[in-house]
Structure 1
Amino acid sequence: MTTSEATEFAASTERSLALAADALRARQDPSGYWKGDFETSLIGESGEVILRHYLRLPVDETVAAAARTILAEQTPTGGWASYHAGPDELLLSVFCYVALRLAGHAADEPELRAAAASIRAAGGIESVDNLIMLAWLALIGLWPWRDIPLVPPEIVLLPSSFPGNIYQFGAAARGIVVANSLFMAERPVVPAGFEIRELFAEPDRRRLPRSLAVRAATTLSHLYGRHPIGPLRRRAIRKASRWLMKTQETDGSWGGNWPQTANVVMGLTAVGCPQDHSVLRAAMAGLDRYVVDKDGQRRIEMWTSVVMDTALGLSANVMAGGPEAKAATEPAVRWLLDNQVTELGDWAVLTPDPVAGGWPYEFTNNANPDADDTAWAMAALRRIHPRGSDRAVDAACERAHRWLLSQQGDDGGWAAFEPLRWRLPGRDKLAAIGFLEAPSADITGHVLEALGADGRAGTPAARRGIHWLRRNQHADGSWPGWWACFHLHGTSAAVTGMTACGVPGDDPAISRACDWITAHQQDDGGWGEDIRALHQPEWIGRGASTPSQTAWALLALVAAGRDDSAPVRAGVDFLTRTQQPDGDWAEPWHTWVVHHDGLYWRDSLLRLIYPVMALSAYRAALAARER
C-alpha cells in the first residue's frame, strides 16, 4: 500500500467510525442506557398464545396479532426456522402450529397443511425430545402427562448441601424448575378443543422410545406423583409457592425475562393462586412489558439486553472519542452505577462469604447477576475512570471485583451465572437446554479483560483464569464460546482477555489463536460463523460475513499486535464497504445463543457497537505505531 493509499484508507476508516459513533449516540436513551431489540424465534409469540389459553383469557386482538406475526414468518417449506435462513425447526414449528389453531385457524387451511407436512417430514411431533416444552402442550391436553417425567415440588425441601437441590440448577432455570414442579404436581388440563393427530408421522404410535434413563425417570416420577406423601407434598407446594413469590422482581417478573415469568404464572395458578392475586396481577403487567407491537404484529422480547448494551455501548462511545463522547458518557456511567446489584440473591446460597456487587443482563434481575455483564460494566467504567479518579466508580468496581472472585470456578474458569456444582448424571443434556452452565472461554475472557482494566492483571484470580484458557484451548488454536457463535466468539474473547492481563501477542497460545482467526477469514474480507457450527463441526469458523463477527476478529487481532497486517486491513475495509449511509450495518443473522438446542437471538444494537469498538481499536493501534 502506497503512502497516499494508506492516507486515504485511514481517512475512510475515520469517516466510517465517526458516522457509526454518531449513529450509536443517537440511539442512547435520555436516561443514559442503550438497549437494542432482542430478536429471537417465534417460540415466545406462540408460547404467549398457549399461555393465554391456559389462563382462559379471551381470543382477542392480542391473539390475532400474534397469529399474524407467526404466519408472516412461515418458511417456504411450511415450518418455522429458529434462526435466519435456517431450516424448519421441529419444536418451534409444533408450537407455531398449535398457536395458530388456538387462534382459530383451521387444520385444512393451506398454511396449516403445509406446516403439518413439514412437521411430519421432520419425524413428527413424537420426535420432539424437549420434554420440558412438551409439558406446555400437556397443559392444554395435546400431549399425555404420562409421557413427561415430573419434577416433584418436594425438590424445594432438599437442603442446599444435598445433591439435586434447586441451587445446583443454573440461575436462569431455577425459577422455571420450581414453577414446573407446581403444575407437574397438579397436572391440570385446559383442553385446546381440537386434536393434533395430523402432526404425528406415525399416528398409531404415539411415542418413540426414549433412553432408559428418561423412561425410568418418567415411570418413577409418575409412580410417586400418583401416590405422594400427603403432608410432605402439601408442605412442598406451600414452600415452593412462597419461594416464588419472594423472588418476584420489582417489575413483576421473575428473572427479568418472559419465559421464567410465564412458567411461574402457570405454576402458581395450577396450585390455586387466583389470577386477581397481587403477585399474579403484577406478573401479567410484567409480561406486557416484553411486548413490542409493530405494523399490526405482536413480538415478544423474551429478554432485555439493556446492561450488556449499555456497558458495551459506553465502551464503544469512549473508544470512539470526539467532542460528543462526554455528553453520552456521564449519563451512562450514572445509569450503570444505579443498577449495580447490592443485595444478596440466589447465587449467594452456595457461595462462601458472599458479597453483592454484580450486574444483571436485564433491567431487573437482582436475584441473579451474571459475570459477563459484570465484567463488561466494570471494564466500561474503568475506561472512563481509572482507579483513584472517582470514589463512586472505585467502590462499584471493588464490589464487582469481590463478587467476580466469589463466582470463579474451582478450575479457574468462569461461567456466566454460578460455578458448576452439578455432579449427577445428565449434566450435558441439562447444559444444552440451559439448566446448567459450565465455565467457558468467552465468559472467562471477558472477566480477564475487566480484571486487566481494573489494574488486577497479575492477581492470582487472573493467573488462574489464564491457566484455564491455556488448558482448554483446542489443538487448532481456537476456543469454543458458549453465549455466541461459536469458536469465533470464544477465541476473540480469550485473546482480548489474556492480552488485557499482560500475555504478549507472540505468546504461543495467542499466536495459534490469531492464526486460526486469520485462516477463517472470508473472501470478502469479513468473518462469520453460522449457528449450525454449534452442532455441525464442518461449520465451525464458517458462515456469511457479519459486521459484529468481523469486529470480534479484528478486536482480537489488534489486541495481539497484528493491526498492521493484511487480514486486519481487509477486515476494516469490509466494515467500511458494508456500512449503510445512516452509519449502521445490516445483520439479519442470529449470532447469539440462549440454549444450544434451538433458542438463538440477535441484538439490533450489537451490529453497531462492535464495529465502533473495532474501528476505534484499529485507529488507536495505528496512532500508537506512528508514535
Structure 2
Amino acid sequence: MEDKSLPTQAQDALEQAVQFSFDQQHEDGHWVAEVSSDATFTSQYVMFKYAVGLDLASDGDAIKLWLLRDQKEDGSWGLAPELPGNVSTTVEAYLALKILGVSADETTMLKARDFMIDNGGLAKVRFFTRFFLATFGLIPWEAIPQLPAELILMPASCPLNIYNLSSWARSTIIPVLIVAHHKPLYALPNGRSPDNDFLDELWVDPKNKNVPFAPPLSTLAWEKEWIQLFFTAVDKILAIAGGSGTSRLEKWPWPNA
C-alpha cells in the first residue's frame, strides 16, 4: 500500500468529505439531517434545570429514555456512537439519571458504576465535568484548576486574552470564569452539602475527593511536559494568591450602568 504524505492524506480526506456532502443532497438542492450530540449536553440541561429550580416533569421521562437508549453495552456513555466509553460522559449521564429519579440499584446504573470503578472512578473526569460536579458539592472547588475572573479584563495586546479564543470557546469560558469566581453550591435530591455523597459509589476512594487535576510538577518535569508544567505551576501560584484576599474585580472602577 502506498505510503501517502500527510498533505496528500489531508487532501484525500477533504475530497471524500466534499463528495459525501454532495451525496447527501436532495434532488431539489437542499440538505437535511438530524442534529445530535453526545449525552453530556442533555445531562447538563438536566443539571441546569434542577440547579435553578425549573420543572423537569414535562420532559424528564423522555430524557431518561433517550439517555438509557444511548448507553453502551458495558454500561458507559461515549463521545460518539462508534467510540468507546468515556468516564466524563458516563458520570454526567449517570448524575442526570439520578437527578431524574433513577435508582442507583437499577441494572443500567450498576453497569455504569462498574465501568467507572474499572476506569479510575470520578477522579479521572475532565475539567468541565469536575466544574459541574463542584457546583453541587460533589468535588471540592479546591480540586478545580484556578480560574481567575480577572482574565476577562486582559486586553487584546496580552498573549493570553479572551479575544484570541474562538467564538465557542469564548462563550464557554466567560460564564465558567464568572461561576468559578462565586463558587456556588446547589442542592441535589439528597440536600445541599459542600461534601455531598450523592455520587460516592462512583469514587474508587470516596474519602479522598480533593484529587489534583494535573500530575505533580516533578512528574511533569521528569517527562519534559514543559507546557503542562508551566500551566500547572501557574495554577498553583494562583491558588496561593487566590486565598490571600478579595478578588480585584470587586475593586475595579466599573462605569455606571
TM-score normalised per structure 2: 0.73
Please report the RMSD computed on the Cα atoms of aligned residues, expressed in angstroms. 2.8
**Of residues 128, 144, 169 in structure 2, which corresponds to 1:148?**
144
CA distance in 1, matches of 2:119, 2:60: 27
3-state DSSP class of the match of 2:36? strand
CA distance in 2, matches of 1:208, 1:116: 22
Q: Residues 142 and 205 from structure 1, CA distance in 2 versus in 1: closer, same or farther, beyond 3 angstroms?
A: closer
1:142 counterpart letter in structure 2: L
Q: Does 1:121 align with 2:123?
A: no
Deviation at 1:57, TM superposition (A): 1.2
Match of 1:65 in 2: 62
Q: Is the 8 A contact 1:138 1:145 kept in 2?
A: yes
Match of 1:198 in 2: 201
CA distance in 1, matches of 2:46, 2:131: 15
3-state DSSP class of the match of 1:58? coil
Deviation at 1:201, TM superposition (A): 2.1
Q: Residues 87 and 116 from structure 1, CA distance in 2 versus in 1: closer, same or farther, beyond 3 angstroms?
A: same
Match of 1:497 in 2: none
Q: Residues 124 and 22 from structure 1, CA distance in 2 versus in 1: closer, same or farther, beyond 3 angstroms?
A: closer
CA distance in 2, matches of 1:111, 1:27: 43
Larger-Rg structure:
1
What count of residue pairs does the alignment treat as equivalent?
A: 215
Task: Output aligned runs, 1:564-579, within 5 Å.
Answer: none
**Of residues 23, 38, 41 in structure 2, which corresponds to 1:41?**
38
Q: Is the 8 A contact 1:156 1:236 kept in 2?
A: no
1:25 counterpart letter in structure 2: E
Match of 1:179 in 2: 175
Q: Residues 220 and 40 from structure 1, CA distance in 2 versus in 1: closer, same or farther, beyond 3 angstroms?
A: same
CA distance in 2, matches of 1:152, 1:122: 31
**Of residues 101, 113, 136 in structure 2, which corresponds to 1:104?**
101
Q: Residues 197 and 163 from structure 1, CA distance in 2 versus in 1: closer, same or farther, beyond 3 angstroms?
A: same
CA distance in 2, matches of 1:215, 1:186: 22
Which residues of structure 2 form unaligned runs of 5+?
1-18, 191-197, 218-228
Match of 1:13 in 2: none
CA distance in 2, matches of 1:170, 1:42: 23
2:163 counterpart letter in structure 1: Y
Deviation at 1:169, TM superposition (A): 2.6
Superposed CA offset, 1:15-64 (max 9, x none)? xx9xx879613573xxxxx4532222111111111111222212312232
Deviation at 1:235, TM superposition (A): 5.6
Q: Is the 8 A contact 1:150 1:221 kept in 2?
A: yes
Q: Residues 67 and 186 from structure 1, CA distance in 2 versus in 1: closer, same or farther, beyond 3 angstroms?
A: same
**Identity over the aligned pairs, expressed in percent?**
22
Task: Output aligned runs, 1:241-260, within 5 Å.
Answer: none
Deviation at 1:181, TM superposition (A): 0.9
Q: Is the 8 A contact 1:78 1:114 kept in 2?
A: yes
Deviation at 1:170, TM superposition (A): 3.0
Q: Does 1:234 align with 2:237?
A: no
Q: Residues 161 and 223 from structure 1, CA distance in 2 versus in 1: closer, same or farther, beyond 3 angstroms?
A: same
Q: Is the 8 A contact 2:143 2:212 kept in 1?
A: no
CA distance in 2, matches of 1:236, 1:149: 24
Q: Residues 64 and 226 from structure 1, CA distance in 2 versus in 1: closer, same or farther, beyond 3 angstroms?
A: farther
Match of 1:88 in 2: 85
Q: Is the 8 A contact 2:144 2:213 kept in 1?
A: no
TM-score normalised per structure 1: 0.32
Deviation at 1:84, TM superposition (A): 2.1
Match of 1:24 in 2: 26
